[in-house]
Chain A
Amino acid sequence: MKLLTKTTLYFLLIMLPVFTAGAFFLYNRFNKEIKHETDEELLNDQLEWVRYLDTTSAGNPVFRISTPEFNIRPVDAPVQRKPRLTTVDIYQEPEDTYAPFRQLSQVITVRDQHYELIIRKSLIEKDDLVKNIIHVMLLAFGGLLVFALVSNWLISRKIWKPFYRSLDQIQQLQLNKLAKVIFEQTPTYEFNQLNSSLTSMTARMYQDYLNMKELTEDAAHEMQTPLAIAQSKLELLLQDESLTAAQQRNILLSYDELQRLSRLNHSLLLLAKIENRQFPVSAPLKLAAVIRKYLQLFEELIAEKQLTINSQLDEESEWPLHPALADLLISNLLGNAIKYNYAGGEITLLLTARSLQISNTSELAAIPADQLYQRFKKQQDTYSNSNGLGLAIVKKMADSYQLTLTYLHTGNVHQFTVTLP
């Protein structure tokens, strides 16, 4: 849920009970006030009636009046000192309903004769008044609510704008472009603090990244130089014509092992570099051309094994990969497909707009899922000279660049599929 929606919702949730309680309170107040007013009017009427009755003669027809508003009749009950005020519902014939009335009743004495005097006032009009008041009030409250919500939304949107800008920036961060990231000044204290923290954090991250990058390169340098020296000395030694075949063979073994070591070193550095995202994507790249390049480079190896290549390549298929990584991806997958194939086998290449599928026949069993992309896990012991990093590199590349890499083994066919996000 968006921050703005959330704050608005909370605001609404808090405001609703407050408004309801307010409306309730006002309704009660008005109700009470009206009752009070009516009671006062009734008491006034009563006083006037009593004064009037005192002045009339006993035979006056007024003593026989019986209407919903005014009713007087002689009774035997004792005189009441105080009038009794109640709310009653009286049946209304025309409307066939009961209507609320405020009623004053008192037993009074006029010339030694006891009368019960009942005066009523309809509350219907007052009810309407209360209803009207409540309507107006609700309208006002509703209007206020809408106004509050809209203004809250507008203000929040403006206030949070710098935050969303910073968020946008963070989402677009690329490790190798951190140096240029600047989180701007805002008029809000908290956001300034956030932005200055972010700025110093990215600066630190960039520094770490540079250090790491430097370390990988330095490590390569420091290791490759001694390797180069040893390798060159052995190569010179091989030229010595007085060597026996056995000596020559021993030198060659050392020479080959050195190369394996240097390739291993190279691959490990490559893994680190991919992990550090040191291969930025500059422009989308047409993968079909890369595949064709390697098919040509490996042409003889393919011919040697009499492999059949079935390829269906979408020429327009574009991949967001650094050229060096695209080379690695294809050379590793295609190289494996050739290397682990049997003579007369098949390789199928299927490149669509969003995926690349390389499958090859092989006598080797399925690669156990838990070992598939592990470093130094070699398939069978027959290939002792393989460094076991090829698939690990492809996997790392896929993980670092949001590609999906899946492996499927059916019958004697191994299939790797790389899919764009």
Chain B
Amino acid sequence: MKLLIIEDEPVLRDSILEYLERQGYICESANDFKQALEKVREFDYDCIVADITLPLGNGLDIVKELKSLESHAGIIIISAKDALEDKLKGLELGADDYLTKPFHLSELNARINAILRRKNFDGNTIIRFNEITVIPASQTVLVNNNSISLTGKEYQLLLYFIANQRRVVTKSALASHLWGDEYDSAGSYDFIYTHIKNLRKKMLEANGEDYINTVYGTGYRFG
């Protein structure tokens, strides 16, 4: 999977590249509008992450260009502006998602993952992680070919873990992924623990391995 990261802030760009490359993606980057346009015209990408405010141009124009090129690349817009107009305009132009800075790298990764799945296989893909099989089309989860029944939140949790496998995922990232940023959880993430506990229990009951490692005080690492 080949990604293009268009971000003018070098430090942030490096962080994104580092995280995504470790997840197994081939990443290229562009640091201004002109460079981004050249790359987009020359190469094919599976997913493009574009900042809106760029030197020499606007990230939304890259979305327009991609659409005129009839590109099949997934597009995620990232912006420091939480301006609703930008968000709506981006999605209207054909972007697949919109993320406001600052974001969790794990969240960006999960979103890229979801878009790639949707784009490349029309959602008919099957996600495998050792003995775990997830069929997104029917939201079914099989462990050792035995179907287990998960609640909506447990299912989302599992997908998030698999997308960010072998990485430390913080509790706050999980909370904002599951409940959005609207719920100001007042610093207590205890409620996540229940969901983790239930998910772990259900997978163990199906003779699955315990992949959810608690990283003391920090969060969880899957796998």
Chain A: residues with CB nearer than 8 A to chain B? Answer: 217, 220-225, 227-233, 235-236, 238-239, 245, 248-249, 251-252, 255-256, 258-260, 262-263, 266, 269, 279, 294, 297-298, 300-301, 304, 324, 327-328, 331-332, 335, 339, 383-387, 390
Contact = CB atoms under 8 A, between A and B. Distances in A.
Contact of A385 (B153, B186, B195, B218): B186
Most chain A CB atoms below 10 A, which of B101, B167, B185: B101
Contact of B82 (A235, A249, A266): A266
Given A220-B81, A235-B173, 12 more contacts: A223-B80, A225-B12, A228-B12, A232-B102, A249-B218, A252-B217, A255-B170, A294-B182, A298-B183, A300-B153, A301-B179, A304-B191
Interface in B132-155: 151, 153
B187 A386 contact: yes
B55 to A, nearest CB: 14
Given A232-B15, A232-B16, A301-B191, A238 B186 contact: no
A269 B179 CA distance: 21
Contacts of B188: 385
A221 B53 contact: yes
B217 A245 contact: yes
Contact of A238 (B80, B168, B185): B168
B9 interface: yes
A384 B184 contact: no
Contacts of B194: 300, 304
B170 A390 contact: no
B102 A236 contact: no
Most chain A CB atoms below 10 A, which of B81, B84, B151, B186: B186
B52 to A, nearest CB: 9
Contacts, number: 133
Nearest to B103: A228
A220 B82 contact: yes
Interface of B: 9, 11-12, 15-16, 18-19, 22, 53, 80-84, 100-106, 151, 153, 167-168, 170, 172-173, 179-188, 191, 194-195, 215-219
A279 B85 CA distance: 10
B83 A217 contact: yes
Given A220-B82, A304-B191, A228 B101 contact: yes
Contacts of A260: 187
B139 to A, nearest CB: 16
Nearest to B22: A239
A332 B151 CA distance: 25
28 contacts: A217-B83, A224-B100, A224-B101, A228-B103, A229-B12, A232-B15, A232-B105, A235-B15, A235-B106, A236-B19, A238-B170, A238-B218, A239-B167, A249-B216, A249-B217, A258-B102, A263-B184, A297-B180, A297-B183, A298-B179, A301-B179, A301-B183, A301-B191, A331-B182, A332-B182, A385-B186, A386-B184, A387-B184
